[in-house]
Amino acid sequence: MIGAIEILIIAVIFGIIYGRDAIDKTFRKSANEGVVESMAGDLKEYYDEDPKRVVKLAALIIGTFSFVVTGIYWAITRTDFLKMIGLDQ
């Protein structure tokens, strides 16, 4: 059975090997612009190609954020997490 540490190590190695290529192909950053300017240009191109894609991307980000916040709220209220970290008696 593969443990969580081994899966994390495999993910890190995969990210190191393939992450840079994916980032270089996805974001066309030139030397004289910052990351935010590059991302703004990419979002503008995405919007020009298909405006619904940007709306779907925003809905995905909001949905993911609300899912994570709900999970954290559940973990704090339904478990003994606060006792485990020493904030509750």
Q: How many other CB atoms are found less than 10 A from the CB of residue 31?
A: 4
Work out whether the CA dihedral 68, 36, 21, 52 comes out positive or negative. Answer: positive
Q: What is the pLDDT of residue 41?
A: 76
Q: What confidence tier does 89 reach under pLDDT thresholds 50, 70, 90? A: low
Q: What is the pLDDT of residue 68?
A: 95
What are the Cα distances from residue 44, in Å, to 38, 47, 53? 10, 5, 11
In angstroms, what is the C-alpha Rg of the chain?
Answer: 20
Q: What confidence tier does 21 reach under pLDDT thresholds 50, 70, 90? A: low
Q: What is the pLDDT of residue 69?
A: 95
* Ranges of each domain in the chain: 50-89
pLDDT digits (tens, 9 = 90+) for 28-73: 556 566 666 767 777 787 778 878 887 888 899 999 999 999 998 8
Report if pTM > 0.85: no
Predicted confidence (pLDDT) at residue 74 exceeds the cutoff of 80 = yes
